[in-house]
Chains A and B, each alone.
Chain A
Amino acid sequence: MTGSDHLLDVRNLHTYFAGTEGVVRAVDDVSFHLDTGEALGIVGESGSGKSVTALSLLRLFGPFTEVQSRGQAFFDGRDLLAMSERELRNVRGGEIGMVFQDPLTSLNPVMPVGDQVAEAVRRHSSANRASARQRAIELLDLVGIPAPAARYRELPHHFSGGMRQRVMIAIAVAGRPKLLIADEPTTALDVTVQAQVLLLLDELRRDLGMALLLISHDFGVIASTCDRVQVMYAGRVVEQSSLEHLLTRGNHPYTEGLLKLVPRFDDDLASSGRLEPIPGQPPRLLEALDGCAFAPRCSYVHDRCHRDRPRMAPLGPDHASACWLASERASR
């Protein structure tokens, strides 16, 4: 079995948790790929499996989680899921950096922020204490922390949420990664700060030549940063496409529902109607679903949707959708 031409090539990823009420199929047969320098957005409601997908790649689950992943995830030709813990540790924070959701709790409260960056530097280079410190100051400067040398010894609680997220990003890029995974990086921030952080991520991606995997429940966040988008629902990918294509010719009924949730300033509210929530709740992922996971909430549902699971079917050069009505809807 050989690797892949893509930087990241995930094939048939399944991640199951042992929950109190049974096995939770958090990620259910997900495949996607990402090329060097590319920005891919994963969008979906909470519980759609988008974060778990990212955590599965680096095996970053908490101590209480009994979790099992199957499938393949080739990164630079090597399968992350087949790696030993020791091999994977060299990838974490090295070739793949990760930014998390809540900057308020993601930094060690009793360790100076500079040391937290320097620690990541030293782990993935042969730098000594002094040069790691120097590099950490450069990184803090890079992510836009004013007076980084002076603030090196300060503890996280002296920083605002936005500044802490910048520190987090400095940590994530400290190992000069080829891929940066950002899991809801702006969700916990104020709207104005959100835009700054997204801009920073975009700049860093271009300047450092990284690929970006951006995970968000917010189409707006994805739209401002990503080239390609993949929509997830109930642990499955339901549609993937280039950004423009998805926004204009989104195919899957769930994508359609999500797009209706995005307020558009350029639209005339009176003509396009109100924001419409999708009726119903996402399914509990406790039992294997035979049909389409979205069928119970879908307004275009027909018999087959409950019976057979639709697979991703190509609709164009870079567009695929998992819906039985895909081609019919595409030709509308």
Chain B
Amino acid sequence: MILRRLRDGVVVLFVVLSVIFTLAHVVGDPALVFAPVDATEAEVEQVRRNFGLDRPFTERYVDYFGDVLTGNFGESTWQRRPAFDAVREALPDTIELTLVGIAIAAVTGSVAGVVAGARPGHLFDKVSNFWSVVALSVPNFWLGLLLIVVFAVNRGWFPTSGRFESYSIVLPAVTLGIVHGGRIFQLVRSATVEEVTKPYVTVAKSKGLAATAVLWRHVLRNSGLTMITIVGWEYVRMWGGAAFAIEYVFAWPGIGDTMIKAAHRQDFFVLQAAVIVAGVFVIITNLVVDLVYRVIDRRVAGG
């Protein structure tokens, strides 16, 4: 199972890279793709010669994977240094932001989800349910911009962007927390609802336990594992989109910000390196979530 997931991840990465390569080399003119935006005719010709683009397609394809496997992702045309370095430098910032973001999302989403799910149909359930739908309906980058207008421009409590103060992380992390907290809320809520309708909960009540004791000692003991997995998947999901747009909104110097600025400058190799690094990270995170699930599951149910 674990190995299958790892294999799937590697296969997908391989397929994605092949598609990128094919598109760059067959559909478009690779020299134009690789060259900087404002390159002159002569410079493009220079690129063509440097990359050996006159060689046959298959030869280039094999070389390409050789390069990728040895960590040679090409040279950034904009930063004039190896693309991998530019991305590697940004990686810790992205990890830091996403971890703080997922922590906010996990705490708010799980607490609200359990409270709402324990008493479905009550006022708190209805209100929080509606808000979670709202959180999932608004564009995440727009939410970031809204927070900037309110808390940075109007109130001046936080910097509008960049990473210069220790509390610069607050607004981008809160934005991520709201968006992903919304989905964690919905998943945790339905997991809780499913659990509290099971007969053993009625039995626990029939012992004379108070509602909170039933929730803590019985319901959460059963839904806890599901909740951990929910948070794990949501973290992976964060890497699938929101985190990168949010970085760009707040000029947070992570992979997303680097990548989007590279996209604006047609810096192909940095773009590609970012996709590869993020892809590998997601594959590893998937594996970790699976492993954690398995270990806990064995400890709980294995006896």
Contact = CB atoms under 8 A, between A and B. Distances in A.
Q: Within 8 Å by CB, do A and B touch in the complex?
A: yes
A120 to B, nearest CB: 4
Contact of B209 (A101, A123, A174): A123
A98 B217 CA distance: 20
Interface residues of B, number: 26
Contacts of B198: 105
Nearest to B210: A89
B120 interface: yes
Interface stretch (A32-40, A108-116, A264-272): A108-116
Contacts of B197: 62-64
Contacts, number: 88
Contacts of B207: 92-93, 119-120, 123, 171, 174-175
Contacts of B120: 63-64
Contacts of A105: 198-200
Contacts of B26: none
Contact of B208 (A91, A111, A155): A91
Interface string A57-74: 010101110100000000
B199 A100 contact: yes
A169 to B, nearest CB: 12
Interface string A76-104: 00000000000001111110011011100
Interface in B103-123: 118-121
Contacts of B301: 109-110, 155, 157
A64 B218 contact: no
Interface string A266-296: 0000000000000000000000000000000
Contact of B303 (A91, A92, A154): A154
Contacts of B196: 62-63
A92 B222 contact: no
A123 B209 CA distance: 7
Interface string B42-72: 0000000000000000000000000000000
Interface size class on chain A is 35 or more
Contact of A92 (B119, B121, B208, B218): B208
A173 B150 CA distance: 60
Interface in B174-201: 193, 196-200
A60 B209 contact: no
Nearest to A171: B207
Nearest to A59: B205
B213 to A, nearest CB: 8
Contact of B217 (A92, A119, A168): A119
Nearest to A174: B207
A108 B223 CA distance: 12
B206 interface: yes
Given A107-B203, A119-B217, A93 B208 contact: yes
18 contacts: A60-B202, A60-B205, A62-B196, A62-B197, A93-B206, A93-B207, A106-B202, A108-B200, A108-B203, A108-B204, A108-B221, A110-B300, A111-B218, A120-B208, A153-B303, A158-B303, A168-B203, A171-B203
Given A62-B202, A101-B199, A171-B203, 17 more contacts: A60-B206, A63-B120, A63-B121, A64-B120, A64-B197, A92-B205, A97-B206, A100-B199, A105-B199, A111-B217, A119-B207, A119-B217, A124-B208, A153-B303, A155-B301, A155-B303, A168-B203
